A = this chain, B = another copy of it.
Amino acid sequence: MRLTRYFMPVLKEDPKEAQIVSHRLMLRAGMIKQQSAGIYSWLPMGLKVLNRIQQIVHEEQARAGHIPVLMPTIQSADLWRESGRYDDYGEEMLRITDRHKRDMLYGPTNEEVITDIFRAHVSSYKDLPLTLYQIQWKFRDEIRPRFGVMRGREFLMKDGYNFDLTRDAALHAYNRHLVSYLRSYERMGLQAIPMRADGGPIGGDYTHEFLVLAETGESEVFYDSEITDLKFGSRAIDYDSVEQCQAVLEEFTSRYARTDETHDAAIFDQIPEERRRTARGIEVGQIFYFGTKYSESMGATVVGPDGNRTPVEMGSHGIGVSRLLGAIIEASHDDKGIIWPEGVTPFEVGIVNLKQGDASTDSACEALYAELKSKGLDPLYDDRDERAGAKFATVDLIGLPWRITVGPRGLANNKVELTSRRTGEAVEMSPQEAVSRLVEVYQPVKDAAL
């Protein structure tokens, strides 16, 4: 993308309304615009990152054998009366009356709708196991929305639901989700630690939250420092294998890691003191096994191998897709701006033309731009007629992991400069070498894709 043809309205001043760094940087980088309290428009670059995160989630769900659907945002209250949650849910549910005076609502989560789909179409154990998921907008009418997309009212979430015949099969689905979530977060450049949590309004006492450590996290967390050494990495896994998924669960949940909701000081104190950690965390996902809570109240049953009808075993599993942008920035920034992990960056590299309008510099930039695109990379070419300082400040603020600086002096020796946003390290090399180096850097991102 050429910047003069893009819409990336960066702000020069720090916006007053932003209390935390991710909110401030998303506004400054022109990624979002507030439309009303807790409700945002996604400007082009914000949307681009949102889409990259969605793509990772979709790919990892596909890998785990989960099937995408899409449920409507506006739902009938009747379904929620069946499960008993219409009255329970409280003021966070946005309740709506349509022109025919029917009670509707904007879905804050979708256990009811998915159970309704299931009971309408599935009646035999032979169609199990089945996991359906979606990435769709949700609304929770927070009393005090704040922190930008971290605690918005309209937010994008992945929600998935497993349907199984037995408790064991449902627990395997739980483990499978845990594995797929570990992979998803790592591909986004995040370490998200599964911690024992509380069921809340979804229900169930078998649940883990995934937390990203960050000073601005809303939860206090307690953990054994050994847990931060764990990496899922690029290991191969067979999602159908009960043993393999169980082993990952055990590896990642056997050490102490809990939120304040489930923290138990007596157990925590048994960890050697030098490994005891207290920190703050941002919740970026949660998985639940809740058995037959919804299938019983809503009559979602299957005929088992013995010919008897039995309520289906279920769980639900969420990733806070729009909130992840905030979490990634909280975990990865400096005083100049955002530092995107390679897996989610809106553009793989920024090209800074130091002398816009100079024929040979312009043509070198154009050639680089075309060459990077031909290699499947997506560069942002800053072709504005601005001084170098302003261009550097912009590319640092918006957080592109790599920058190629092109100026007449270097070009005289066939050199450009490749700079890492994270380390600040700058190396002179030929344009061809810069392209090869970037192809190499992004190879793991491509390899991780489905």
Contacts and interface: CB of A to CB of B under 8 A. Distances in A.
A154 B73 contact: yes
Nearest to A139: B74
A207 to B, nearest CB: 25
Interface in A133-160: 137, 139, 141, 143, 153-154
A91 interface: yes
Copies in the complex: 2
Contact of A44 (B5, B68, B141): B68
A69 interface: yes
A213 to B, nearest CB: 29
Nearest to A129: B5
Interface string A1-40: 0000111010000000000000000000010010110011
Given A39-B74, A117-B33, A154-B73, A98 B67 contact: no
A299 to B, nearest CB: 16
B35 A47 contact: no
B67 A41 contact: no
Given A42-B69, A69-B43, A69-B47, A74 B9 contact: no
Contacts of A5: 65
A96 B94 contact: yes
Interface in A37-73: 39-44, 47, 50, 65, 67-73
Contacts of A139: 74
Nearest to A92: B99
Nearest to A9: B121
B39 A99 contact: no
A116 interface: yes
A57 to B, nearest CB: 14
Given A9-B121, A39-B75, 6 more contacts: A35-B113, A41-B72, A43-B69, A43-B117, A44-B68, A72-B154
21 contacts: A7-B121, A9-B121, A33-B117, A33-B120, A33-B121, A35-B76, A36-B102, A39-B72, A39-B76, A41-B69, A41-B71, A42-B71, A44-B67, A72-B137, A73-B73, A73-B137, A73-B154, A74-B106, A74-B154, A91-B99, A92-B99
Interface of A: 5-7, 9, 30, 33, 35-36, 39-44, 47, 50, 65, 67-76, 78-79, 91-92, 94, 96, 98-99, 102, 104, 106, 113, 116-117, 120-122, 127, 130, 132, 137, 139, 141, 143, 153-154
4 closest cross-chain pairs (CB), A and B: A9-B121, A42-B70, A36-B76, A39-B72
